[in-house]
Each structure stands twice: as structure tokens, then as C-alpha cells.
Chain A
């Protein structure tokens, strides 16, 4: 059995510091994506940094924007009055995206592709193993990219929320508050191009 360290930091800065300083560490949220990948042998982190206890479950409206904490549950976000009245496509996507028992927007947004070849460690995959080739480009891939693909990767972002967000709003971003140094942001979307691991998602902190 492979040994794995389990850590439960008490504040966001500590969680970010641990994962930033250890390339072998991964954030653990709800686990519905990461735990599947552990079972399938797709990823083998040396340390899991559990962020579910961190104080990130608040929603704040400010300057015509809504800031959603990473631990806010999908159902609570979908039920927020602003989402129901002004962003119904996002609320609908959240409600359609999972059964009621699987709910955390951070996890949902940052989940990895469900390309079958990415999930099958016996086949080549540039996203999982850079330079090994793309199995999906030539084989079964009816749910993979039609637009925006590249010879290196045809995987798509599987999150319903990630599709609805740019439909509903001109501007959105994911950000990490790293200590007192403000926010580091990324948009979480983009075509794979020649760097299919670029949008890799097992909890890198940058």
C-alpha cells in the first residue's frame, strides 16, 4: 500500500503554502474527482491537504459582483437570490451538474477531463503523461472537442458550471488568496493547444 500524508490546515495561507512548497501535494475538497483518480491510479500524491474545514463557505455581493467561496455548496449557490433572479443559466447548470448529494463549486469547476483515455492508465495520454501521445484523437471520442482541439489533446472541461459562467457573465475568475498578498487569478478555461497539461487541476496553487 502506498503511504499518503493527510493534512488539515487551519487557515488558507497555510494550505496554499503547503501545496505551493510540495509538488507532490494536492488539495482535497469534496473528493469526488480526486478520489476516483486515486482509485484509478491516475494520480499518486504524497500528501492530501484537506481544505473542507477552511472558512471559505461565504458568498458576498459587492460592486455588482458575487464572490463565491470555494467551499460553498452547489445547492446553496444555485439557491442564492442573485443567481436565481439574475444568473438563471448558472443556477440551472449547477442544478443539472450533479445529483444533490455531490456538491461543491470549487471541486466542480476544477475537475479534470473525463476523457476515457485520460482515465485509462494503460493508454497514452499527453495530459496525464506529457509526450506519450493522444489516444482519443484517433479512437473513441464522441464527447471530446470539436472546436479548439489540437493534435496533442482533444479533451474538454467537463464542468457544467464552467460552460455556463462565460455564457452568463462577461467576467469571472478563480482566485486564491495567498496570505495577505492579494489574489492570484486564473480563468480556468482555455484550449489545450500544445500544452494539454497547462490546465491541470489537481490543486496546484499557482
Chain B
């Protein structure tokens, strides 16, 4: 996950980055266990980690620099490289 943040330039000042990385790791773990989120349409299915799902699941962490687009790309890339559903 740390490498993915570096690779995707998922930060500017870096202040929020430790929290973003921890949340992303926890979020992928929950995704792997099939947890639903607020934007999951059908609670009885195993949700795929679409961009909308990733954004919702990361929504508790703010980035005042506004690096959200690249944070999303980093999480998406980490999900793909760890073989987790993306």
C-alpha cells in the first residue's frame, strides 16, 4: 500500500498519509471479507470494490491538499496487485 501511494503520487504534503494508508489497508481487508458499505446496493451480495465503493470506504479520511484522485488510484492499484477484488 505504501508503494502504491508513492507510485500513484497519492499525497502532496503528507500530513494525512499515515491515516490514509491505514484506512486503505483496513478497507481492503474488509473488502476481502465481503463487507458491505453505505453505497452497496444489494446487501446480500458480495460487493466489488468499484471506485464508488473505494471513495465511500475512504470517506472518513480528509486530505486538505485534495490528493483524492491519486489516492483512489493508489488504492485501486494496491487492490489489484494484492489479488483482492477490485
The answer to whether B36 and A100 touch across the interface, beta carbons within 8 angstroms, is no
| B61 surroundings in chain A (CB, below 8 A) | 101
What CA separation (Å) do A92 and B39 show in the bound complex? 10
The digit string for A81-122, where 1 denotes a CB below 8 A from any CB of B, is: 000110010011001101111100000000000000000000
User: Is B84 close to A, CB under 8 A?
Assistant: no
Number of interface residues, chain B, beta carbon within 8 A: 19
CB distance from B68 to the nearest CB of A (A): 14
With contacts A84-B43, A88-B43, A95-B38 taken as known, whether A100 is within 8 angstroms of B59 at the C-beta atoms is yes
A117 to chain B, nearest CB (A): 27
Q: Is the CB of A96 within 8 A of B35?
A: no
What's the least CB distance linking A168 to chain B, in Å? Answer: 13
Known: A79-B36, A101-B61, A102-B60. A85 touches B44 (CB 8 A): yes
* Bound CA–CA A7/B34 (angstroms): 36
Tell me if B43 and A91 are in contact (CB < 8 A).
yes
A100-B60, A101-B61 are known contacts. Are A84 and B33 too (CB-CB below 8 A)? no
Contact A100 B44 (CB under 8 A): no
Closest partner residue, chain B, to A98 (CB atom) = B60
Interface residues of A in 149-175 (CB under 8 A from B): none
Residue of B nearest to A103 (CB): B60
Q: Mark B27-69, 1 if CB is under 8 A from A, else 0.
A: 1001001111110100110000000000011111100000000
Closest B residue, CB atoms, query A81: B44
B36 partner, pick from A84, A99, A102, beta carbons under 8 A: A84
Question: Please, which residues of chain A bring their CB within 8 A of the CB of B37?
Answer: 95, 100
Give the contacting residue for B60; candidates A76, A91, A96, A101; CB below 8 A: A101
Interface residues of A (CB under 8 A from B): 75-76, 78-79, 84-85, 88, 91-92, 95-96, 98-102
Q: List 13 A-B contacts (CB under 8 A).
A: A75-B30, A79-B33, A79-B36, A84-B36, A85-B44, A95-B36, A98-B60, A99-B60, A100-B27, A100-B30, A101-B23, A101-B60, A102-B60
Listed in ascending order, the chain B residues whose CB lies under 8 Å from chain A are 23, 26-27, 30, 33-38, 40, 43-44, 56-61
Known: A85-B44, A101-B61. 16 other contacts (CB 8 A): A75-B35, A76-B35, A78-B36, A88-B43, A96-B38, A99-B59, A99-B60, A100-B23, A100-B26, A100-B27, A100-B37, A100-B57, A100-B60, A101-B23, A101-B60, A102-B60
